[in-house]
Amino acid sequence: MEQNDKKNYSSALYTLITVFFFWGFLAASNGIFIPFCKTHFHLTQFESQLIDFTFYGGYFIGSLILYFASQASKVDIMNKLGYKNGIILGLVISALGALGMIPAVATGSFGFILAVFFIIAVGFSLQQTAANPFVVALGPAETGSNRLNFAGSINNIGALLGPIVVSVVLFGSASAKAAASEVKISSINNLYYMLAALFIAVAIFFWFSNLPKVTSDEKMESSSKANKPLFIIFIAFLLILAADPLSLAIHIPSQYFVYASLAIIIFTLVGTIFAAKKSKEGWGAMQYPQLILGMIAIFTYVGTEVTLQSNMGSLLKTPEFGSFNESDIAPYISLYWGSLMIGRFAGSIDAFNLSKTTKYILYIIVPFVAFGLVLFANVVSGVNVSNLYTYAICVSVLIVAFFIGQQKPTRTLSVLGLLGVIFVLIGLFTTGRVATFAFISGGLCCSIMWPSIFALSITGLGKYTSQGSAFLIMMILGGSIIPPLQGKIADGSNDIIKGMSGIHFSYIVPAIGFAYLAYFAWKVSRELRSQGIDLDHVEAKGGH
């Protein structure tokens, strides 16, 4: 669709990016809500991570339902519905979920609360499926990545504010903190009343907004053979939820079911590469090895990004990390999500038509300006941020990594993957503030991985690009599987290394995740070169 009115472009874009804020706000606030629920409901670390399981699982299930319904009807349902209507429907579903949190909290049932998180996330899944291509369509194709980066920065602002706002709602301002034992879970009601009202208000605003009608003319490609691995992955997803009940029923330790879930997903995707090599017919986008490797990479990336902060609340409560109260964790969770914002702000510099010298100067200045914004957001809430100043050293390391990566997807991904391994290993072999900042620095490494992985994964797919993109979005599932996996390791690994708590040792999980992402950069570059694709002209697009 062609749009000539630049003013309408801008107003439509500004309307659209409001949903990006919600995604970041709620996802990041889980870092505060998880340790709070763990204390309130007396949960194990694995059980507390079921919040992430249901939240990110909602994204996966929503995408999967949409995919199978479209395959069965041979109609692209989202395209027929329209991106605008898709977003409105997603907002209404999320609003119903937010309102459902009120009776869920009243019953005191953790299972009910998980179900509500799932409903909110299904709504988010619809919003995300519609909003990303909508943003790209609101203007010239060559500047689509710029608009996605801008929308991604709004997502980061939501992620920065989420932990701060939720902490204030639960515990009060920094100058008048309530003790964790005095806080009632009903304190969260006001937040969800506010979110429900905002979801409805934005849905109404979208309904009456003069947004352009955007549809795709691409013919939907059939991929009947892809249905089987996707169904197997769905079963593996359910295995996480059934881990504890199955353990009680057949007397096998529950962590084995969690490990089996991850193994089934990985081996299913790897097996698809070999099956598609024998016969490409019927596999659709899955016939391309770079896509399957990328699906595993997106799964790993999202899981690593989420699990670093989701388990951090419990980590900071341990003696070797400072014995923090739940009410004092928010600045560190906020700094983690702020780290993604720092990297993405710096990563967007190359999208502007600036001289090389100007870009180099901005690569140095912009990360520190973004770091200042993170500190300022915490200061406004009454937090003393003086103990966060030394994190500037980690920001400096990221700047060096940017210069080494030179905005090339494979090089950038390799450098950040290896740097992530180094940061997490430093965190594993130290304690206190050094280890805390090392783990938080994982956010700096994750910051611009998504566009690099996405670009490399869909390169060379041709007419299957749209379908490949949908498969990659499904792999947000990693945020549902990997945090509970780390939770199980945390609950059962107290005796593996003497003197190291289970939650500390469990950070071996993101170390392995970063190692795979570095491997992916090397492996996919070989695969693309074998297809005659020039990697120097692969453009990183979008953001997550």
pLDDT tens, residue by residue, 169-224: 776 654 445 554 455 666 778 888 888 988 898 889 888 877 766 665 556 566 78
Where does the pLDDT of residue 540 fall: very low under 50, low under 70, confident under 90, or very high at 90 and above? low
From residue 287, give the alpha-carbon distance in Å to each of 220, 226, 277: 16, 9, 7
pTM of the full structure:
0.85
For residues 274-312, one letter each, b for 16 or more C-beta atoms within 10 angstroms of the residue's C-beta and e for the rest, the string is ebbeeeeeebbbbbbbbbbbbbbbbbbbbbbbbbbbbbb
pLDDT at 6 over 60: no
Helix spans in 75-176 (H): 77-81, 83-107, 110-137, 144-171
pLDDT tens, residue by residue, 231-279: 999 999 999 888 888 888 888 888 889 899 999 999 999 999 999 988 8
pLDDT at 8 over 70: no
The three-point CA angle 232-27-416 to 5° equals 80
**Residue 82 falls in which region: left (phi positive, over 0), alpha (psi -120 to 50) or beta:** left
pLDDT tens, residue by residue, 116-158: 989 998 998 888 877 777 776 676 655 565 576 677 777 878 8
Of 31-40, 258-267, 435-444, 520-529, the one with minimum mean pLDDT is 31-40
Pull the structure tokens for residue 10.
Answer: 């801008």
What backbone torsions phi and psi does residue 345 show, to the nearest 5 degrees?
Answer: -60, -45
